[in-house]
Amino acid sequence: MRLVRWKAAIPLGLTMVVVAMFWWLLLDHAVERAVEYVGTEIVGARVDVASADVRLARGAGAVLLRGLEITNPDQPMRNLVQAEGIAAQVRLLPLLEKKVVIDTVAVRGVRFGTPRRTSGAIARQSPTTGRVARTVSQWAGRIRIPPLSLQGLTTVVDVSRISPDSLRTVALARAIAHRGDSLRETWRAELTGLNPEPQLDSARALVQRLRQADVRALGLAGARDLVNWSRGTLTKLGQVTDRVKAFETRVTSGVGSLRSQLDGLAQARQADYAYARGLVNLPWLGTPDLSPALFGEMAVERLKPVLYWLNLAEQYLPPGLDPRRQPGPDRVRAAGTTVRFPRSRELPAFLLVYAGADAQVGGEGAVAGRYAVTLSGLTSAPALYGLPTRLAAGRVGAAVGPRTGNLVAVLDHARTPVRDSILALLDGVPLPTVVLPAAGATLSLGSGTVQLRLARTGDEIAGRMSWSSNRVRWARTDSAGAAAGPTAGPSAGRSTEPGIGSAAWAQDLLWRTVSRLTSVEVEVGVSGRVSAPAIGVRSNVGREVAQALRREMGDELNRQEQRLRAEVDRRVEPHVQEAEQRVAAVREQLESVVAAKRAELEAARTELEDQIRELTRRLPVRIP
Amino acid sequence: MLVLLKLLQQLVKTLNSEGTPGQVAAGIALGAALGLTPLMNLHNLVIVGAIMLLNVSFPGAMLGWALAVPAGFALDPMFDFVGRVLLVQTPALTPLWTTLGNLPVVPLTNFNNTIVLGSLVSWVVLALPIFYLARWGVGRYRVTLYPRLVRSRVFQALTASKLYNVYRLFRPE
């Protein structure tokens, strides 16, 4: 029987040819789907390509994508970027190694923030983008924006809401008292265990005997025995004294620790004042301004995308050459895990050497003009490429006015720790409209300047983001006008003066304060871990509001503050006193007792030494 | 439907008389690769080529494929485990995977996927046992089960039925 069916070679060859032709015919569609699939995986929102055209010739491939739309993950009905056409030169040989190396990319017809016909949200994000999105959302959820509610400021503060169990001072004082009791009992038992009395009695009796000792009656041998015995007692006495001294050191240190904890109660009480102030909606005007309350949410919303992209860059541009794991492809069978094994001096799985885009934003709007964007060194294995990824974008021609816009980002993941830096200055860009519910107003920032300066080293990030505008517009919300009634608006006549602390008064005060401002500056500081940095918000609006509050109702607030403090003191003081008494009891009952006992032992030891010395002096021969 | 009937007919014929038990068993063993491993992979093109070119039973391969598909789905967790052990948890093999991963064409087989590698290795290990088991099974079927089946009333009733006439209609001469 023959092993090979040679007559099947021709059908097999034909089958292979059919498969190859099928692949060739579907190549355009396959590239289109691949770009959409990979783009969606990376961005975390839909990426659409209208059509793809692939041409392979003489060792190089030309890929032309038309109608690329990348959805903004934060706004599924808007595109982050839309491009009419993308022409890429792809190396062919690396494709045999399943590597995509793109030498150049030219992008035309780029537009930003265009509306989408259908939602670009995806039902199931990839594990990577989903994880990053969740991390950023959790971070945003953890940021505590202090509330700004001036309503009811001067009404009687409901101090009954302050629960003693919620006060840190009470908990600390109880803990100190408990620890004092516990230490006192422990030390008392230990002191009883030390029991220096027998040694003391023995030493005293020996001293008495030595005083009365007659050398002649004892004889040389008797005197020598007495001296040796006395020296033995002295040694034992010394050992007991050392143990008592060590014990005394521990007691002194323990009492010192208790006293320092007592000192810390003052700090805890300050925290309790702040806590109680939060419970009764009493604003604290001691801080520089009230900006976090006014612009905190806006700051978090604007920082979320920045953190999202930074964290995503870390996922897709990892440093080092360790094997990388990623979920396998979607298929009917289980996806499994795909592991990549990068090797030095080889090409990375993905490399974009250089991309350039000439973006034109039409119209007469503030952002209208021509932009030039370049991107170089974008790779999935920066350690193999060895150079940082650079993104530079700049406005090269503005349609309206002297507008500027520059963005430079350098992501150096070629070595650890990774170093990223982003510097952006955009002038004349449309700024958001911010709703300030406490003031019953909306702030339209108009067009202004945005500055972003971020630096990241390893897991640490530090930076600043600011918005400024010289032509802001304030508007009262309808509900605010209704609530304020006749006092609404800075120029409105006041038929009835609203009472301090009423909703109308609060909104009127804030409105009068902020509506005078024609320029607004908001600055957000970022620092800490890149996955969950801390933010600080400052603005001239917050400072103005704080000053206005001080002017208008500083005395009233001080009075309420005093009342609040007195209430906190009333609830806290008994516990603090109790703790102080317990600590004092430990001092009196143990520290002083131990000190007295140690002094007694030392005195007995000195006396015994003196008597031994006196006896040996009287002997005719020297006893070693 | 006609294709299915035809395939069924081929299958029955194969089991009953066409080809030696060894050819049928070899076909089943090769066909099992198509069912055990994820289908759309380069190595399966090689397997299909082998089935066509080697003197093994084609219907046997189809039978092996059909039988192995549900097994493949059911054993995916095990394949994932095997692949993970080989790709991730065996550092001694990392240089091998790194070399293979940077060779031309080899990465197109998706060998660096835990399911693909795990299932392929499992098939390689199971291929010989499948072959011997199938050869024994086909032999036993032809010697013992099939004659009894022919004599059974059910079979005789079946052959006398219209369904059998339809079967005969597509029976190759």
Q: Which of A22, A338, A344 is most worth mutating to test chain B (most B CB atoms within 10 A of its CB)?
A: A338
Q: Answer yes or no: is pLDDT of B5 > 70.
A: no
How buried is A617 (Cβ within 10 angstroms: 0-12 exposed, 13-18 middle, 19+ buried)?
exposed
B54: distance to nearest CA of chain A, Å?
4
- Among candidate residues A100, A103, A75, the one with its CA nearest the CA of residue A87: A103
A211–B contact, CB cutoff 8 A: no
The per-residue pLDDT for A159 is 64
Q: CB distance A333–B72 less than 8 Å?
A: yes
Two structure tokens written together for A440: 């019953």
Residue A537 to residue A300: CA distance in whole angstroms: 10
Most confidently modeled of A247-261, A579-593, B72-86? Answer: B72-86
Reading the block at residue A524, the tokens are: 């957000």
Stronger pLDDT, A570 or B165, i.e. the higher one: A570
Closest alpha carbon to B138 in B59, B49, B48, B53: B59
> Is A8 an 8 Å CB contact of chain B?
yes
Tell me what percent of the residues of chain A surpass a pLDDT of 70: 85
**Closest residue, chain A, to B113 (C-alpha):** A338
Banded pLDDT at B165 (limits 50, 70, 90): low
Tell me the C-alpha distance between A24 and A465, whole Å.
Answer: 50
Q: pLDDT tens digits, residue range A323-338?
A: 788 888 888 889 999 9
DSSP codes of every residue in A69-131: EEEETTEEEEEEEEEEEEEEEEESHHHHTT-EEEEEEEEEEEEES-B-SS----SS--HHHHH
Query: What's the whole-number mean pLDDT along residues A226-238?
Result: 87
Give B5: exposed, middle or buried? Use CB within 10 Å, 0-12, 13-18, 19+: middle
Residue B164: what pLDDT? 64
- A47 Cβ contact partners less than 8 Å away, ≥ 6 residues apart: A35, A36, A39, A40, A68, A69, A70, A71
- pLDDT tens digit string along B51-106? 988 989 888 898 899 999 999 999 999 999 999 999 999 999 999 999 998 889 99
Mutate to test the interface with B, among A333, A346, A384 (most CBs of B within 10 A): A333
CB contact under 8 A, B53 and A346: no
Region B23-46: what's the mean pLDDT?
Answer: 92
Confidence of residue B44 (pLDDT cuts 50, 70, 90): very high
Contact between residue B5 and residue B166 where contact means Cβ atoms under 8 Å apart: yes
What is the pTM for the complete model shown?
A: 0.63
Residues in chain A: 624
A596 in B contact zone (CB under 8 Å):
no
Cβ neighbours of A101 in B, within 8 Å: none
DSSP letters spanning A391-454? EEEEEEEESSSS--EEEEEEEE-SSSSPEEEEEEEEEEEEPPEEEEGGGTEEEE--EEEEEEEE
Cβ of residue B101 closer than 8 Å to a chain A Cβ: yes
Residues A302, A489: Cα–Cα separation, whole Å: 30
The amino acid sitting at A192 is T
Length in residues, chain B = 173
Average pLDDT value for residue range A28-47: 88
Rounded Cα distance between A408 and A458, Å, is 19
Provide the number of CB pairs (under 8 Å) joining chain A to chain B.
100
User: Which of helix, strand or coil describes residue A379?
Assistant: strand
Q: What is the phi/psi pair of residue B63, to 5°?
A: -65, -45
Spatial contact of A323 and B112, defined as CB atoms under 8 Å apart: no
Query: What mean pLDDT comes out for the span A120-148?
Result: 74
Residue B78: its chain A contacts at CB < 8 A?
none
pLDDT for the residue A403? 61
